Amino acid sequence: MATRDEIADALAGMTLFADLAAPQLQGVAGRFEEAFFAEGARVLRQGLSGSAFYVILDGEAAILVDGEQRATLGRGEFFGEVSILLGELPTADVVALRPMRCVVLPGGSVEGFLIEHPRVMFRMLQAQSRRLRNANRARG
């Protein structure tokens, strides 16, 4: 398991956390738990309970909706936020394409975390906007 300093260092290089100072990163690192997933592991299941916010530190994940791959996520990208923010079941499967290491924030802690760190919330909103734009472009 990584130390708080190692997690803070990993987060420091990610766009999502780019606006946080070193002491803030240390605090953030202490709130997340590290998790490992083997290649092929299903991290989230579409339509089934599962409430956590995941940030990928290493590895890659496929986002599948009704069995069709819609996106690939890698280092610095995140998932799980949609079901938490909407209070709904996950709308997609998330499967590790290769061994994956993430930091995870339990769903019940996400709202408070985002209120405490509005710049992270803004970066998350930017990323979601990009995802929506790209999905719309892909549809034609």
pLDDT in tens, 78-97: 999 989 989 999 999 999 99
Q: Is 56 helix (H, G, I), strand (E, B) or coil?
A: strand
pLDDT confidence tier of residue 26, bands split at 50, 70 and 90? very high
pLDDT of residue 135 exceeding 80, the answer is no
For residue 113, give every residue at least 6 positions away whose Cβ sits within 8 Å of its Cβ, in sequence order, or none: 28, 31, 53, 105, 120
pTM for this prediction: 0.92
Pick the CATH number of 4-106+115-139 from 2.60.120.260, 2.60.120.10, 1.10.760.10, 3.50.50.100: 2.60.120.10
- Report pLDDT digits (tens) over 44-67: 999 987 789 999 999 999 999 999
Tallying the residues shown for the chain, one arrives at 140
CA 81, 85, 86, 87 dihedral sign is: positive
Average pLDDT over residues 4-15: 92
